[in-house]
Amino acid sequence: MMEQTDNLIKLSNGQVLSKETIDGDIATINFGPTHPATHGIFQNILTVDGEKILTSVQTVGYIHRAFEKLAERRPYNQITPITDRLNYCSSPINNLGWHMTVEKLLQVEVPKRVQYMRVIIMELARIADHLICDSIIGVDTGALTSFFYPFSEREKIYELYEEICGARLTTNLGRIGGFDKDFTPVFHQKLKEFLKTFPKAFEEWNGMLERNRIFMDRTRGAGPISAERALAYGFTGPNLRAAGVDYDVRVMHPYSSYEDFDFTIPVGVNGDTYDRFMVRQEEIRQSLRIIHQAYNNLPEGPFHADIPEFFLPDKKDVYNNMEALIYHFKIVMGESEVPVGEVYHSVEGGNGELGYFLISDGGRAPYRLQFRRPCFIYYQAYPEMISGANISDAVITLSSINVIAGELDA
Amino acid sequence: MTNNELLDALHEHLGSKLIASEVLFDTLVIEVSSAEAFGVIEFLKNDAVLSFNFLTLIGAVHYPEEKGRELCVVYHMHSWKNTIRLRIKSYLPQENPSIKSLTPLFDGANWQERETFDFFGVKFEGHPNMTRILNMDEMDYHPMLKQYHLEDETREDKDDRFFGR
């Protein structure tokens, strides 16, 4: 990893240090690929001076699954399960973002009820995503309780997913044009229960960390990034907002009726681990606000758009109606006709701007589908963020930027 | 700012560098030559009025039928000041495709360009570390090119007329 001469040490990134500036012993250590503190499969080869990090070389791609190539052979509705596996902490956002992209290509206007239902689900997913991330910062600072405590609340969100689509982690939620079914009575009951009990449980858990002396001392100043550097690196989402920039796709390019709701975008000041934690905690409260507004004003109407070419007909119609049978066959075999076009659509994912760049040549599968994966773009700033920090700070920085291996490697 | 206003401004500033332009759905798409791409993006970033401050995405598309311009490098730019997106395309030939790297302008271009190289073989000149990123280093082809099919081509039980490309 490094060359040494009498008095100088040349590091792998080209930096040359005088031996006099070295306090301890220079060593090279592997942080990952499989390590409990990386929370995913990625490797950092650290050159350390005692406990202080001098350089870091990243290796990514351990769980690369060629999603963009796979997508070039799949009909549009079969791409939804691929998107689940990007950011698997908030898969419904990925699913619904993909459906909105296809609807944009098809130029379909979905009913207001569908848009509100989507908002409710996407905000639930954001809460689940942020709960995991923030509780893991707790674990890495030594507070294991803070990890277990929100899991009972996250479980309730997963039960809500289950009520909509039958799955929990890789949800494959919704359909192009809307949903396969309306919210069930059980869903309504569970959502009301959740909205009633969650704020209290959340604040109790938040109280354990937010003003905790040990937690604050541990996280303030750890892994900071300035707004300018964050922008240069293409940061989006909570990590960018923690650095003080209030960019949010939900506000700048509202989709799915986000313009109807009243919510604020929290921003931090220093862009350090504590700010990232605080921004996410506040986003959870804002997500709750949005869910309340969307649920209380949930419009009546159909739960899917009227696009028989893409939305599976009722099973009883398939048996009794010639047209329904034809559409059923076309959808299942992936032979629905898609217009030629090129479209970019983005949504505010758990980690930032999650974009879909879709090119259709009129074939059954996309000609090209590219995902803008926020993790992949901002993770390259990691060596800069941890340079000069202690190894333990590298761990909490990694957990606080919420790098999800699935999204990183596609 | 609307797409038409943006297009007028681009015509005024870029002149003949602007090879083609069209509005696809809600986004203005322009084409510039590969030699000009860096300069155009640098101008767009630094111009006080247009202010395309954010590089959203870099990628490529392979069109094997279009001879001489098989590879298309696509840049998505975003101007937060004007709340408008812009897609910039630049076509390259299949043989030794290369284009100037955006890393001096945006640090975030680094991995995205490496990914584009990894999957399409487009070389970015001036990139500090032009190596593969997601695939293993020993790989000797660029898998997103259209000549590499997803499934085994010797299979006879599947007819592409019925089962897709």
Chain A, window 99-128: residues with a beta carbon less than 8 angstroms from a chain B beta carbon: 104-105
User: Does a structural domain hold residue A335?
Assistant: yes
Location of structure tokens 């949800």: A171
C-alpha span between A88 and A65 (Å, rounded): 14
Read out DSSP for B31-50?
A: E--TTTHHHHHHHHHH-TTT
Residue ranges for chain B with pLDDT beneath 70: 152-165
Chain A, window 55-74: residues with a beta carbon less than 8 angstroms from a chain B beta carbon: 60-61, 64, 66, 68-70, 72-74
Q: Which domain holds residue A147?
A: 67-409
List C-alpha distances in Å: A175 to A101, A227, A335, B96.
12, 38, 16, 42
Residues of chain B with Cβ-Cβ distance to A368 below 8 Å are 61-62
Q: Is A363 on the interface with B (CB under 8 A)?
A: yes
Residues of chain A with Cβ-Cβ distance to B160 below 8 Å are none
Residue A14: the pLDDT is: 65
Whether residue B134 and residue A334 make contact (CB cut-off 8 A), yes or no, is no
Residue B14: the pLDDT is: 85
ipTM of the complex: 0.91
Residue A320: the pLDDT is: 92
**Among the partner residues A105, A355, A368, nearest to B61 by beta-carbon distance:** A368
Residue of A nearest to B116 (CA): A370
- Residue A339 CB burial class (10 angstroms; 0-12, 13-18, ≥19): exposed
C-alpha span between A338 and A359 (Å, rounded): 11
Domains along the sequence of chain B with CATH:
3-101 (3.30.460.80)
Domain with residue A245: its CATH number is 1.10.645.10
User: Does a structural domain hold residue A231?
Assistant: yes
Closest alpha carbon to A99 in A165, A170, A164, A176? A176
User: Does a structural domain hold residue A3?
Assistant: no
Q: Name the β-bridge partners of B24.
A: B27
Read out DSSP for A349-407?
A: ETTEEEEEEEEEESSSS-SEEEEE-HHHHHGGGHHHHHTTSBHHHHHHHHHHTT--HHH
Q: Is A19 on the interface with B (CB under 8 A)?
A: no
Residues of chain B with Cβ-Cβ distance to A410 below 8 Å are 134
User: Does a structural domain hold residue A283?
Assistant: yes
C-alpha span between A183 and A341 (Å, rounded): 33
pTM of the model: 0.91
pLDDT in tens, B6-39: 888 888 888 888 888 888 888 999 999 999 899 9
Distance, in angstroms, between B140 CA and closest chain A CA?
16
Are A396 and A274 in contact by the 8 Å Cβ rule? The answer is no
Contacting residues for A401 by C-beta, under 8 A, at least 6 apart: A223, A239, A276, A378, A379, A382, A385
**Among the partner residues B55, B74, B135, nearest to A64 by beta-carbon distance:** B135
Whether residue B80 and residue A232 make contact (CB cut-off 8 A), yes or no, is no
Are A289 and A318 in contact by the 8 Å Cβ rule? The answer is no
Q: Which two tokens stand for residue A40?
A: 């995913």
- Helix residue spans in A210-321 (DSSP H): 213-219, 227-232, 237-242, 249-252, 273-296, 315-320
Number of domains in chain A: 1
Q: Which two tokens stand for residue A71?
A: 């997508």
Size of interface A-B (CB pairs under 8 A): 98
Whether residue B54 and residue A234 make contact (CB cut-off 8 A), yes or no, is yes
Task: Give, in degrees to the nearest 5, the angle at Cα A215 between A34 and A44.
Answer: 25
Residue B4: the pLDDT is: 86
Q: Is B19 on the interface with A (CB under 8 A)?
A: no
Residue A362: the pLDDT is: 86
Chain A, window 199-238: residues with a beta carbon less than 8 angstroms from a chain B beta carbon: 229, 231-235
Are B32 and B20 in contact by the 8 Å Cβ rule? The answer is no
Number of H helices and E strands in chain A, helices first, is: 18, 9
Whether residue A73 and residue B112 make contact (CB cut-off 8 A), yes or no, is no
C-alpha span between A242 and A245 (Å, rounded): 7
Are A111 and A301 in contact by the 8 Å Cβ rule? The answer is yes
Q: Is A252 on the interface with B (CB under 8 A)?
A: yes
- pLDDT tens for chain A, 410 residues long, are 456 666 677 766 666 777 667 776 788 888 878 877 777 788 888 888 888 888 888 888 888 998 999 898 888 988 999 999 998 888 999 999 999 999 999 999 999 999 999 999 999 999 999 999 999 998 888 888 888 888 888 999 999 999 998 888 888 888 898 898 899 999 999 999 999 999 999 999 999 888 989 899 989 888 899 999 999 999 999 999 999 999 999 999 999 999 999 999 999 998 899 999 999 999 999 999 999 999 999 999 899 988 888 888 888 999 999 999 999 988 888 888 889 999 999 999 889 999 999 999 988 889 999 999 999 999 999 999 988 888 888 889 988 998 888 888 88
Closest alpha carbon to B126 in B146, B102, B147? B102
Closest alpha carbon to A374 in A358, A397, A350? A350
Residue A124: the pLDDT is: 93
- Helix orientation angle between A391-400 and A112-140, rounded to the nearest 10 degrees: 170
Residues of chain B with Cβ-Cβ distance to A341 below 8 Å are 24-25
